[in-house]
Amino acid sequence: MKLSNWFYFLIFITLFFQACRKDEPVVNNTKVFDGVDQRLWEYFERFENEAARRGMIIDLNGRGITAEIVEIEQENVGGICNYFPNNANELVIDNFIWNNTSEFQKELILFHELGHCYLFRDHRDDAHPDGFCKSIMRSGLDDCTDRYNGTTRSSYLDELFDPSLVP
């Protein structure tokens, strides 16, 4: 075989094996999450990545959790995790709050609901002496104030994935 024929043969083999790979589908460097509103994929992927940084392997697709952004009739409710004993759990995110909140608040809402739906975490309403919430798993019924931001994010996520840690 001539050198040019080998070159084309190697390109063909490389493309053939690339096309046959069984990796997760990727759209704009973001995993696809079946049954999840595409606007939430980035946050689902972040949740998996943050867990992995803390030594926890999470596969949201494998658990089959679905999520949609719709109008929630209850006032001041950013999200809900619906538990189904014989089916995958479902997240519902409020459309108005989603469209009118910051990136940190969106992440907090999604991670809080995934804390329920995937990690099976309950609410944790305790507060530091300064009144700030100790966990993003707070119910919102007590008087603690969220302090989830670029400075505190890491410690709150440490606590989310390991409840024995308190930020």
**Domain annotation covers residue 56:** yes
Domain containing 142 equals 123-167
**Domain annotation covers residue 162:** yes
Taking only the tens place, the pLDDT of each residue in 11-36 is 444 444 444 444 443 445 578 999 99
Can you tell me the distance from the alpha carbon of 117 to that of 150, in angstroms, rounded to the nearest whole number? Answer: 24
The reported pTM is 0.79
Can you tell me the distance from the alpha carbon of 84 to that of 93, in angstroms, rounded to the nearest whole number? Answer: 17
What was the pLDDT predicted at 12?
44
Q: Is 66 helix (H, G, I), strand (E, B) or coil?
A: strand
Distances (CA, A) of 107 to 35, 42, 102, 103: 19, 10, 9, 6
**Domain annotation covers residue 128:** yes
**Domain annotation covers residue 44:** yes
**Domain annotation covers residue 58:** yes
Q: Give the residue from 120, 141, 157 where a domain finishes.
A: 120
105 and 139 both lie in a single domain: no
- Specify whether the CB–CB gap between 45 and 52 falls below 8 A: no
100 and 132 both lie in a single domain: no
96 and 167 both lie in a single domain: no
**Domain annotation covers residue 59:** yes
Number of domains within the chain: 2
90 and 164 both lie in a single domain: no
Residue pLDDT tens, the chain, 167 long: 554 444 444 444 444 444 444 444 344 557 899 999 999 999 999 999 999 999 999 999 999 999 999 999 888 889 999 988 777 889 999 999 999 999 999 999 999 999 999 999 999 988 989 999 999 999 877 778 888 999 999 999 999 998 776 55
What was the pLDDT predicted at 23?
40
What was the pLDDT predicted at 166?
57
81 and 43 both lie in a single domain: yes
What was the pLDDT predicted at 21?
40
**Domain annotation covers residue 14:** no
**Domain annotation covers residue 146:** yes
For residue 103, what is the domain's CATH number?
Answer: 3.40.390.10
Two tokens, residue 135: 């966990």
Can you tell me the distance from the alpha carbon of 110 to that of 79, in angstroms, rounded to the nearest whole number? Answer: 8
